[in-house]
Structure 1
């Protein structure tokens, strides 16, 4: 399979885009053609374990990696006791017509482990094959950074430079990153918000001379390796729900997904799964108070906000006002036309807005995407209500997803809420919602008490360049 840029030009195969991050012209890598899954294909996948299913789904996109090698990578990513649940992704009913898709069983207790554990294995494989090194440059609003660092720590051919916004993550999220003492992990806390961190990453990634001289790559959700791995759990969730459906009725049995959304990577994977043929009726996008995406899907106007207008909320991993992966959806919305997509992003640079209101009717009718916003009071109430009714405690981001999903539950259509993280990562908010103190276990307390290995830095591109230049692998 060949990959192209959303703004034009060819980029090579899966292994190529795995290492490169942004395309040279600033676009994002997408498959030249999207693979399809027939009803027969889905039935063939039904008896597989999660690592086996991931091999099959990722294999549709990673056609340049021999299947036996890919199977070893997925077995290493999802085996060895890294995930607490034997099934890797357990499903559990939580009431109100909703089912929780358990994506937070991995080492950092967040859904990002589902893709990042695979990406760590795949990067090491490709780098060894090509006798290369990679300096990963990324930005995190909470969970991406810790998942990336735990997947890549201690690897000989990879160094990680992870930017995070000072004071904008929970204590647990900070400790998961800053407590790591591995020499190949570099934490940089930037004065500002997530979008400031993301903009610094983009500026360095689009400086082709600097990027090549320092072997820069990306593991945030612009990396298509992560998107392909996330498609697998949409397929898995549909299969597990339809295990209970009569075989004669499975082929057309629809489900809906509710997805807490910040950078649009997770729900984009659902968009691809639906486009590939998985019977998905609706994709419910849940925003927090930084509801730029909700505004876009309600009005057709995409208006990213400035750092000063990006709020610090109690669902911090969604405190994003400029969603990188939206470009991949807009590429599909505009008929996969790179010229129109490039023009849209030129419009964004000129006017701080993209007007696609003329396409508004297609968002739900053609792509099945609806949206809504959840506030602090909403997530507090939602956590409390589900705890009382089902005994399940939701983290704040998952609570946003459940809150918005309520308006879109349909009789006979299971609503699958994608879990974002374990509630233990947000102990203060759970205490506020439930009135009970969440006592950390011994391992968590040791992590919270560990010395922080982090460099504080102003929002300064030149300082960041100098820091990377001094420490990058070569």
Structure 2
């Protein structure tokens, strides 16, 4: 399996090369040169596998340069700290089913891919005798999941950017309470899109990237996307049987388009998905794109701070991977669209719009703060479950797209404890924290505040990067 750039530059890469490279050298994103496919018979044969065993099979379709025995060891180690049922499915009211993705160490779905990424990065760096300085941006959960997966590793340092004052207190504590020498938390004076732009600017500087051994753990990194494909396969296997409905729909709360892109890849792999429903909050740039065909990211000043902060994103990195497929894998059209975006602030896919809901099966919707509070209350009253505000966004939008005879799955994003203030507002209750969580919340925080300035950030990294 070879990987190419969405913008057509550079030589094809192996999975391991794309893993270390992160952002492609031409500024594009790595995508499979040819999408792997599995037969219905192969899908059926996977029903009896454990989650770790299934992960080795699915990721192995993409990581063909890694021996299968090594993959099996890495996936076993990645999910060893999860409960026995790594991804539980829980029925909700109204015919919905919640796909539980928050059983990992940081209580968020990002752990599902990040725990594997920590394993495979360490494996590849040891195999090559090299080091890597991870530069990432987080709107809330990616940062803590990456840091908890990579803390204490000898060959990796993490430089994680977050928007100052834009995360929940729990999210800040999960990141900033870490005092490992290889973890560097940086609060940027701006919004998430400013952080993401800094990452892309430094990662796009080939000289700086090579001199400082720069890599990525955001969903820019293809390993994140492929590891997330696994739980779509897992959920389909548990939501269907040989005598029942064969296709399911999945609703995905989405900010950076990585999670739902993994669902798109799962569908291309052969998983029968009727609809992929994208759910956004008040920062509804992606909803606008999927309903009008116009992609118009907002400026930093127009990006709202909401009660689902991990989705407070205007410019979705992974949309480029989908646009590449929409444009018939034509890198010239991708480059032209992004050039128009840079010049005009938007682009319009025009006659390709009907293909979004037709050929590709996408739908979308949005929620407000009031919608999320109402949905949290509704789910709690109906089945006794407490869901976080991002998941509530997904449940609200999912209800608008339920079809007779087609199971509707909703991907959970995090435990409600990470957003206690919103839960208090919705339900009037205080969520209980165990002693380990309370200790984390009360611990000293280690973070450096920097301006939205690429040169200042570059100097900070040079002084602390592994060489």
Instruction: Give TM class, smaller chain.
Output: over 0.9
Deviations 1:13-62 (A, max 9, x none): 00000011111111000000000111101011111000000000000000
State the distance in 2 between where 1:378 and 1:42 align.
Answer: 37
Q: Is the counterpart of residue 75 in structure 1 residue 68 in structure 2?
A: no
Q: Is the counterpart of residue 199 in structure 1 residue 190 in structure 2?
A: no
Q: Which 4+ residue blocks in structure 1 deviate beyond 4 angstroms? A: none
Q: Is the counterpart of residue 119 in structure 1 residue 112 in structure 2?
A: no
Residue in structure 1 matched with residue 131 of structure 2 by the alignment: 133
Secondary structure of the corresponding residue to residue 411 of structure 1 = coil
Residue in structure 2 matched with residue 300 of structure 1 by the alignment: 293
Residue in structure 2 matched with residue 395 of structure 1 by the alignment: 388
Q: Is the counterpart of residue 421 in structure 1 residue 414 in structure 2?
A: yes
State the distance in 2 between where 1:19 and 1:87 align.
Answer: 31
Q: Taking structure 2 as the reference length, what is the TM-score of the superposition?
A: 0.99
Q: Is the counterpart of residue 93 in structure 1 residue 91 in structure 2?
A: yes
Q: Taking structure 1 as the reference length, what is the TM-score of the superposition?
A: 0.97
Secondary structure of the corresponding residue to residue 408 of structure 1 = coil
CA shift, 1:11, in A, is 3.4
CA shift, 1:275, in A, is 1.3
Q: Is the 8 A contact 1:11 1:29 kept in 2?
A: no
In structure 1, runs of 5+ residues without a counterpart are: none
Residue in structure 2 matched with residue 49 of structure 1 by the alignment: 50
CA shift, 1:303, in A, is 0.3
State the distance in 1 between where 2:454 and 2:343 align.
Answer: 22
Residue in structure 2 matched with residue 2 of structure 1 by the alignment: 2
CA shift, 1:357, in A, is 2.6
Q: Any residues of structure 2 matched to 1:43-442 within 5 Å, and which?
A: 43-79=44-80, 82-83=81-82, 85-242=83-240, 245=241, 247=242, 249=243, 253-442=246-435
State the distance in 2 between where 1:146 and 1:110 align.
Answer: 9
State the distance in 1 between where 2:87 and 2:433 align.
Answer: 24
Residue in structure 1 matched with residue 16 of structure 2 by the alignment: 15
Deviations 1:264-300 (A, max 9, x none): 0000000111111101000110000000000000000
Aligned residues, how many? 466
In structure 2, runs of 5+ residues without a counterpart are: none
Greater mean deviation of Cα atoms: 350-359 or 44-53? 350-359
Q: Is the 8 A contact 1:114 1:229 kept in 2?
A: yes
Deviations 1:412-431 (A, max 9, x none): 11100000000000000000
Greater mean deviation of Cα atoms: 7-16 or 199-208? 7-16
RMSD: 0.8
CA shift, 1:73, in A, is 0.6
Deviations 1:48-96 (A, max 9, x none): 00000000000000000000011111011011xx21x311000010111
Q: Is the 8 A contact 1:214 1:469 kept in 2?
A: yes
CA shift, 1:441, in A, is 2.2
Q: Is the 8 A contact 1:106 1:114 kept in 2?
A: yes
State the distance in 1 between where 2:335 and 2:129 align.
Answer: 34
CA shift, 1:457, in A, is 1.0
Q: Is the 8 A contact 1:222 1:325 kept in 2?
A: yes
